[in-house]
Amino acid sequence: MNQSKTNLKETIAKRVAKEMNDGDVINLGIGIPTLVPNYLREGIKVILQSENGFTGLGPLQKEIDPELVNAGGQPTGIIPGAAFFDSNFSFQLIRGGHIDVTVLGALEVDTYGNLASWMIPGKMIAGMGGAMDLVTGAKKVIIAMEHCTKSGASKIVDLCQLPLTGKGVVDLIVTELAVFRVSEEGLILEDLQEGVELGMVIEKTEATFKVGSKFAPQ
């Protein structure tokens, strides 16, 4: 399966977009998650919240406002009805359980839904940001990430070895290869990306997982 980095990220974002429902209040992390709005179903209405202080993120306009940026510092647009507020209110929304879905990247996710996304010991970091609050406060946590590290190691592991962002917080994992649901029984393979065979997923996934009913022999 040969994909450019851009196509790989688009594949992940497209699949994540299918998980969104009409009326959802959604928080998107930096990187791949910011691509998700490009692939939302036609006619679906969602509210995108940015932890740096507003709801109503929208597509970039012809004239870019340098003072209007998302939580990752990237230029963004707004839609009619958008609202601006301070960081304190923004985190009250998050911690108060008013975010339906958060989509974040990850360094590791394990069989138990534990998430490590904020640091690699020994490397400089900017800080955890709002990830800890988001994975605790959001009703659904979706991880959008590449299946393996640059060195080829699986990022879906039996047990996270890196410092945790949250314990047992992940609901769904979407990579360029597959979609896994986190259940009380562990990881369940829910879907394969187009052109991907089950054997490839087994080969590239460290964690033990069960195969969903979709793949049961007919």
Residue 103 is part of a domain; what is its CATH number? 3.40.1080.10
The pLDDT value recorded for residue 133 is 94
Residue 201's pLDDT is 97
Catalytic one among 10, 42, 51, 203? 51
pLDDT of residue 70: 84
The β-bridge relationship of strands 140-144 and 54-58 is unpaired
Residues whose CB is less than 8 angstroms from the CB of residue 153 and which lie 6 or more positions away in sequence, other chains included: 206
Range of the domain at 105: 5-215
Whole-number Cα distances in Å, 111 to 94, 105, 115, 151 = 25, 17, 10, 21
Q: Is 197 a catalytic residue?
A: no
Say what the pLDDT of residue 85 is.
Answer: 94
CA distances from 98 to 46, 93, 95, 127 (A): 13, 5, 8, 24
Q: How far is CA 15 from the centre of its chain?
A: 11
| pLDDT given at position 58 | 85
Q: How many domains, the chain?
A: 1
CA–CA separation, 6 and 32 (whole Å) = 10
CB 40 within 8 A of CB 48: no
Tell me what pLDDT residue 216 has. Answer: 65
How high is the mean pLDDT in each 10-residue block of the chain (218 residues)? 76 96 94 90 92 88 86 85 92 95 97 92 69 95 97 97 96 98 96 96 97 75
Question: At residue 5, what are phi and psi to the nearest 5 degrees?
Answer: -55, -40
Rounded Cα–Cα distance for residues 88 and 95 (Å)? 10
pLDDT of residue 74: 85
